[in-house]
Amino acid sequence: METTSKNISRRNFIKLSGITGAALTLGFHLPSQGRDAIFINPSAAGSTNTELNAWISIDISGKVTITNHRAEMGQGSFQAVPQIIAEELEVDLNKVDIVFAVGNSKKYGSQVTGGSSTVRGSYKNLLRLGASAREMLIEAAAKKWNVNQSLCYAENGQVIHKPTGKKLGYGELVEAASKLDPPKNVLLKDPKDYKVLRKPLPRQDNPQKVNGKAIFGLDFKLPGMMYAVVERNPRFVGTVKSVDDSETKKVPGVRHVIKVNRDTFNNMFEGVAVVADNLWAAMQGRKVLRVVWDDTAFPHHSTEQLYDKMRETAKGDIISYRTKGNFASAFDKAEKKLEAFYETPYESHSCMEPLNCTAHVTDDQCEIWGPIQAPDWIQGNLSAHLKLPIEKVTVNMTFLGGGFGRKAFTDYPYEAAMISKEIKAPVQVLWTREDDMSIGPFRPGMVYHCKAGLNGGKIGSFETKMAGQNMGTQEPGADKKGYNDSVTEGLLEPYFNSFPHYSFGDAPLDSPIPVIWWRSVYASTNSFAYESFIDELAIEAGKDPLEFRKQHLWEERYQQLIGKLEEVSGWKSRKKNEGFGVAITECFSSVVGEVVKVSKDANGKVKIDKVWVAMDCGWYVNPDIIKAQVEGSIVMALGAATKHATHFKDGLAVEKNFNTYAMPRINEIPEIEVHIMENEEKAGGVGEPGLPPFTPALTNAIFDLTGKRIRVLPFNLADV
């Protein structure tokens, strides 16, 4: 599969795709919110100034090329998108190439690769796009043969006439098909008839990543490009008081030492950039740079101070988000009452590819290259800051070596653009591992105060107060003008029907520490509290934890998933000296249940034996991609639960590299068995929903085995 990243006009698209001569090129646009996509030929789009949302093109050789408007950071969009197209187009997947789209919200709508949204947000239009192109080719063949179109069908890149067996390759038909209007309605396949979809086909981007041809951010080079590293304020918000660059400028290859800003939630964080002919010189120059910071205008929080304040605020008043009935009265009258606090840590994103960005800014235009999750956001941000028309800002995506939400932020491309503008040359800015892990933004730590009342062995009242920094609202500080609508993220929707009385809200925390979304966002922390507390309620009610959930989740979709978990895990035949824990969460329109089994090793230490997963993501593309994403999510959750956290001392992040921010090792990863639910639900997310249920399932299993209830993360498995 060939990949590239350029400004995609119709002419450039054809050029970049290697298309020669005539081609069938088809796209769609979204005329207004809430309306179906309209499919259109580029020639018609040009005459009406319509911006196409996606392209599919077939050249005279039969080669298919499409653009991918989302990033590829390991989650599989470079496989999933062409696999969807190939199914309805009836073409060999090996003949489908994909190119990166540039940032353009007008043309592509949202390009933010987050919320596990690539497939679930566009699969229907992509199916219709492939089917529309197929029908146009069939129509062209029927006209060429002068036969009824209903007597023709497409298969393996050809149109075939049923009665005679005559065949025409797609390449022979594209010129005639390109002159036709796309069909207004197309019949899509029944999933039982899929030939390409639902198959565990190998990912087409893997060979490039194995042989080194794949271009990641750090691989990108421009003629005359310089390199920069930045000494940033280690306490985030402080300003530069003075700079001594005398020793830095003595380092061979160092060309510039300049003050630079980084836009973080509308707050300019200051730094000093060292720019050199090569990366080594820039890094050596930074080592001898002397910067004095003014850190006097804000608190220097420690981890202990942050959590003391969160625990205090979690006991008090909250900004109410979602309520039903009268929790206080119902709780007061409950037959049994339970109350608990849960705590989750601050976390670094720690992508294997540290942040980096290449920028070239001139007086009248700006171009960016790098591992970018949100090209449209960055295009808009740079247009505003540079005061350039948005069409003069080009944002190009490379492959990402992990993203987890961090590379959707606008701060690091902005910083690179400002340096390029100042030095009047293209520049690649690299964040070292220490920068990446200690500067943030981080996943925020959270404290949850949960209370519930039981009546007749069922939950009659339920309340949660969430205390912590809200993501994306600091300037720096806490936005206390309105509720956080993510307080219930991760909690299964049917609970809102089965709980007669409930109250959910948050108590925002003020802190200069920058925080941002992390894989599965609020569900990554919320679910630990909710699914741990529901487990505690099951024990208090004297009920089996899985059966207790079943009693509260009446809908068939959830009953089926619980049944699958019981079946595959052997839940009802659990043995003595084995601990089983379950958790079920809802994240980005997917429902995931996980059962964790633990036992004790020869030394009496708790070990994780196996994880069973029931993934209900509705309509899906490739089971191997789903299994890989679930496995990756569980490994990431295991690390956040038992291995690592970011702590703060005197306003500084303590953990700066993997020697102190430990990752799970391969010998610590348990067997993971993934089962995909088959149903007629709409497509849900895959890249993130497997993470939230793991930790509560693990801690619930540990309680089942040892009687010890874990409410604070991270914990050391060896100390349980």
Q: How distant, in Å, are the alpha carbons of 261, 280, 281, 443 from that of 276?
A: 19, 8, 6, 33
Q: Is 235 helix (H, G, I), strand (E, B) or coil?
A: coil
Q: Is the pLDDT of residue 34 over 70?
A: no
The predicted pLDDT at position 97 comes to 81
Question: Are the C-beta atoms of 406 and 441 separated by less than 8 Å?
Answer: yes
The predicted pLDDT at position 36 comes to 53
| 437 domain-assigned | no
Q: Is the pLDDT of residue 31 over 90?
A: no
In the structure encoding, which two tokens stand for residue 267, read together? 């707050």
The answer on 496 and 454 residing in a single domain is yes
**Mean pLDDT confidence for 189-215:** 93
Q: How distant, in Å, are the alpha carbons of 49, 56, 102, 349 from that of 41?
A: 12, 10, 20, 42
List, for residues 524-552, the tens digit of each pLDDT value: 999 999 999 999 999 999 999 999 999 99
Question: Are the C-beta atoms of 569 and 580 separated by less than 8 Å?
Answer: yes
Last residue of a domain, one of 151, 184, 211: 211
**Mean pLDDT confidence for 65-81:** 85
The answer on 462 and 379 residing in a single domain is no
Question: Are the C-beta atoms of 400 and 378 separated by less than 8 Å?
Answer: no
Q: Which domain holds residue 332?
A: 303-346+443-719
The answer on 125 and 204 residing in a single domain is yes
Upper half-sphere CA count for residue 434 (Cβ side, 13 Å): 10
The predicted pLDDT at position 475 comes to 53
| 532 domain-assigned | yes
Which CATH number do you get for residue 36? Answer: 3.30.365.10
**Mean pLDDT confidence for 364-369:** 97
| 127 domain-assigned | yes
Beta strands in 347-414 (DSSP E): 356-361, 366-370, 393-397
d(CA 197, CA 621): 5
The answer on 318 and 273 residing in a single domain is no
The predicted pLDDT at position 4 comes to 36
The mean pLDDT value of the chain amounts to 90
**Mean pLDDT confidence for 651-665:** 97
Q: Is 408 helix (H, G, I), strand (E, B) or coil?
A: helix
| 652 domain-assigned | yes
Q: Is the pLDDT of residue 95 over 80?
A: no
**Mean pLDDT confidence for 678-707:** 97
Of 468, 479, 449, 448, whose CA–CA distance to 509 is shortest? Answer: 468
Domain count, the chain: 3
In the structure encoding, which two tokens stand for residue 100, read together? 């990166």
d(CA 391, CA 7): 10
For the sheet with 167-169, list strands across it.
152-155, 158-161, 167-169
Q: Residue 473: which pLDDT band, with cuts at 50, 70 and 90? A: low
Beta strands in 387-520 (DSSP E): 393-397, 427-430, 446-455, 458-468, 501-508
List, for residues 219-277, the tens digit of each pLDDT value: 999 999 999 999 999 999 889 999 999 999 999 999 999 999 998 877 889 999 999 99
The answer on 321 and 178 residing in a single domain is no
The whole-angstrom distance between residue 286's C-alpha and the CA centroid of its chain comes to 33
The answer on 521 and 475 residing in a single domain is yes
Q: Is the pLDDT of residue 92 over 60?
A: yes
pTM: 0.92
Q: Residue 687: which pLDDT band, with cuts at 50, 70 and 90? A: very high
The DSSP code sequence of 250-314 is GSTTEEEEEEEEEEETTEEEEEEEEEESSHHHHHHHHHT-EEEEE--SS----HHHHHHHHHHHH
Of 120-129, 150-159, 208-217, give the lowest mean pLDDT range. Answer: 120-129
| 322 domain-assigned | yes
The answer on 407 and 337 residing in a single domain is no
Of 95-104, 433-442, 592-601, 669-678, give the lowest mean pLDDT range. Answer: 95-104
| 265 domain-assigned | yes
d(CA 160, CA 90): 12
The predicted pLDDT at position 567 comes to 98
The predicted pLDDT at position 23 comes to 59
List, for residues 120-131, the tens digit of each pLDDT value: 888 998 898 889
d(CA 260, CA 232): 9
The answer on 545 and 424 residing in a single domain is no
The predicted pLDDT at position 13 comes to 39
3-state secondary structure 646-669: CCEECCEECCCCCCCCCCCCHHHC
Return the percent helix, strand and coil in the chain, to nearest 5: 35, 25, 40
> Which one-letter DSSP state was computed for residue 376?
H
d(CA 515, CA 636): 18
The answer on 513 and 544 residing in a single domain is yes
| 195 domain-assigned | yes
Last residue of a domain, one of 406, 430, 454: 430
Of 24-33, 200-209, 474-483, give the lowest mean pLDDT range. Answer: 24-33
Q: Is 190 helix (H, G, I), strand (E, B) or coil?
A: coil
Q: Is the pLDDT of residue 3 over 60?
A: no
Q: Residue 297: which pLDDT band, with cuts at 50, 70 and 90? A: confident
Q: How distant, in Å, are the alpha carbons of 258, 279, 666 from that of 286?
A: 12, 11, 35
The DSSP code sequence of 516-583 is ---TTTTHHHHHHHHHHHHHHHHHHTT--HHHHHHHH--SHHHHHHHHHHHHHHTGGGPPTT-EEEEE
Amino acid at residue number 391 = E
Torsion, CA 631, CA 632, CA 638, CA 639, rounded to 10: 160
The answer on 507 and 646 residing in a single domain is yes
The answer on 263 and 206 residing in a single domain is no
Amino acid at residue number 457 = G
The predicted pLDDT at position 45 comes to 40
Q: Residue 304: which pLDDT band, with cuts at 50, 70 and 90? A: very high
List, for residues 589-632, the tens digit of each pLDDT value: 999 999 999 999 999 999 999 999 999 999 999 999 999 999 99
Amino acid at residue number 360 = H
The predicted pLDDT at position 24 comes to 64
Give the range with max mean pLDDT: 57-61, 134-138, 707-711. Answer: 707-711
Q: Is the pLDDT of residue 511 over 70?
A: yes
List, for residues 317-357, the tens digit of each pLDDT value: 999 999 999 999 999 999 999 999 999 999 999 999 999 99
Count of beta carbons in the 10 Å neighbourhood of residue 63: 21
Of 509, 501, 506, 470, whose CA–CA distance to 488 is shortest? Answer: 506
The answer on 144 and 67 residing in a single domain is yes
Residue 163, preceding bond cis, omega within 30 degrees?
no
Last residue of a domain, one of 387, 406, 430: 430
d(CA 57, CA 133): 9
d(CA 178, CA 172): 11
Rounded to the nearest 5°, which phi and psi values hold at 707? 80, 5
The predicted pLDDT at position 268 comes to 85
The predicted pLDDT at position 474 comes to 55
| 216 domain-assigned | no
The DSSP code sequence of 669-703 is PPEEEEEEPP-SPPP---SSTTSTTHHHHHHHHHH
Q: Which residues contact 644 (CB under 8 A, 6 or more apart)?
A: 347, 348, 350, 655, 661, 662, 663, 714
